[in-house]
Chain A
């Protein structure tokens, strides 16, 4: 269920690299753990972000989870739909529930992240 063409982190984010752009989201597992998502806090376009730092948060009624960016770069686009309809993060975390698009400053970073298989293995050990 976790797409093969994405890279993952142990903090449950994913990144899709297309040319020099990276699209970031949270995983199916992450949204399931949080439950019904009610609010998403995202950085403004133009913000420079460093790999593994907090760039925002995802909230359910009774929990908050920080978003750590898997890659460094500059935010070029933010998913504006999430402000109106945060529930799409629950429905489609790998598609219309993406969070931000980044112009990558360190294109090599993504290749060092977890593959789908590695991530699934990690989630398996974490939840057992």
Chain B
């Protein structure tokens, strides 16, 4: 039975350019308190543009209605379970939004003198400290703007560290279950990618890895728990193998929501890792960003961290640019400060114990769903699940679209690539038992539909304002902007 979803209230909404009418405005500037300046005189006639053709002309009411109507066409965590595997779609606490908009934090300029920004420094220092504590690492940079940016920063750190030892080496090992960002980041740092296959338990095979690692290998980039939701049980052995050849172990911390409070990567041989604050630490995804991807490192890598670094003197906090071994800047200014504020608010609300409880609940929810679904769907690997579980089904795409009719966002479809027809499900700790039961019921009902009424799946979704979208036509003849 479809228990959640209802037909859509707003069906039609034109684009801004189509509702635009000459002379309408949605702004009010104050009266100019200085003499006006003739732009053509001040800038040179050649430098002054004609009016911006087709730019919108709409009123304030037009704007709020337009975007409010558009918003109703989105699914969101605020509407229900959002079980995208490896994306950690947990509730985004609104207190985080409130504190990020604190006047004294929102309006500070990155170039105001350090002495005038001591409150910001205190926040950054505390966040660095707690992230180091959670990961068991020694130092943290908060600068990377997203997970992939953290990966690039991390691999540049590997390179700088090895160069300082006298040999940057050539290759980085990436498991075949990794996110596509891993190999792309490795290339950007000037390394070759070597893929290593998972074994039949969905884990890295330490013996096979041992044969691959030589003095040309710079590092391994390992996601743990991996994208199958499986903890790499040989992780300490993997670290010993890499370290024996002088190579480093980089951990993609995208799945840290399975570990916070119960396992610290720094305690078992991980040399550096990134975190996704927009996953584990609840900052909103916002339809695709902003994110934040801090990198945590062990002591030997600290000297290479990006510029600038926090430093404390009796007179107060300041930025330190005098770091000759640093890989340099990875972005302007100091990181996505507004996102960092939200992450610290989340950590403060939980405390050490609360983080561990959240991890417990995330594991509980994933394993509960797995148990409910196992009689109806094939699990990809029998190894125990951590915070997510991966099933497989040849009709994964169609089942996902049919889930929409039941009022849920689909799981991650066809990833990881090593599982044919993957259905990757991560409920997070946010969900109640009722919501999980509804979701399981929906998937079980769809399994039955698939046998009895396959046509219900092939044309899904049926209940949405927009029915199945023709992605092939979009790619064959790309229309990437509106034109008259």
Contact = CB atoms under 8 A, between A and B. Distances in A.
Direct contact of A and B (CB under 8 A): yes
Given A60-B472, A61-B475, A86-B476, 7 more contacts: A38-B475, A39-B476, A59-B475, A61-B471, A61-B472, A62-B414, A87-B476
B183 to A, nearest CB: 14
A2 interface: no
Contacts of B475: 38-39, 59, 61
B417 to A, nearest CB: 10
Q: Chain A at the B interface: mostly helix, strand, loop or mixed?
A: loop
A38 B472 CA distance: 7
A77 interface: no
Contacts of A87: 476
Contacts of A86: 476
Contacts of A61: 471-472, 475
Interface residues of B, number: 5
Contacts of B476: 38-39, 86-87
A58 B472 CA distance: 14
Contacts of A36: 472
Interface string B38-68: 0000000000000000000000000000000
B206 to A, nearest CB: 29
Interface in B188-243: none
Interface string A68-110: 0000000000000000001100000000000000000000000
A59 B414 CA distance: 17
Interface in B439-484: 471-472, 475-476
A62 B413 CA distance: 12
Q: 3 closest Cβ contacts across the A-B interface?
A: A38-B475, A36-B472, A38-B476
Nearest to B414: A62
Interface in A22-74: 36, 38-39, 59-62
A50 B471 CA distance: 35
A61 B468 CA distance: 15
A15 to B, nearest CB: 27
Interface of B: 414, 471-472, 475-476
A112 B162 CA distance: 46
Nearest to A38: B475
A60 B475 CA distance: 8
A109 to B, nearest CB: 29
A32 to B, nearest CB: 15
A36 B471 CA distance: 10
Contacts of A39: 475-476
Contacts of A62: 414
Contacts of B414: 62
A38 B475 CA distance: 6
A113 B472 CA distance: 33
A60 B476 CA distance: 9
A62 B475 CA distance: 10
A38 B474 CA distance: 9
Nearest to B397: A62
A109 B475 CA distance: 36
B317 to A, nearest CB: 48
B137 to A, nearest CB: 36
A59 B478 CA distance: 14
Nearest to B472: A36
Nearest to A36: B472
A34 to B, nearest CB: 11
Nearest to A85: B476
Nearest to A59: B475
A34 B247 CA distance: 38
14 contacts: A36-B472, A38-B472, A38-B475, A38-B476, A39-B475, A39-B476, A59-B475, A60-B472, A61-B471, A61-B472, A61-B475, A62-B414, A86-B476, A87-B476
A86 B478 CA distance: 13
Contacts of A59: 475
A57 B475 CA distance: 15
A126 B104 CA distance: 63
A61 B473 CA distance: 9
Contacts of A60: 472
A117 to B, nearest CB: 28
A87 B472 CA distance: 10
A59 B476 CA distance: 10
Contacts of A38: 472, 475-476
B85 to A, nearest CB: 17
A65 to B, nearest CB: 14
A24 B475 CA distance: 24
A36 to B, nearest CB: 4
Nearest to B413: A62
Contacts of B471: 61
A80 to B, nearest CB: 16
A121 B475 CA distance: 34
B444 to A, nearest CB: 28
A22 to B, nearest CB: 28
B328 to A, nearest CB: 33
A122 to B, nearest CB: 20
Nearest to A86: B476
Nearest to B471: A61
B193 to A, nearest CB: 15
A17 B476 CA distance: 31
A61 B478 CA distance: 12
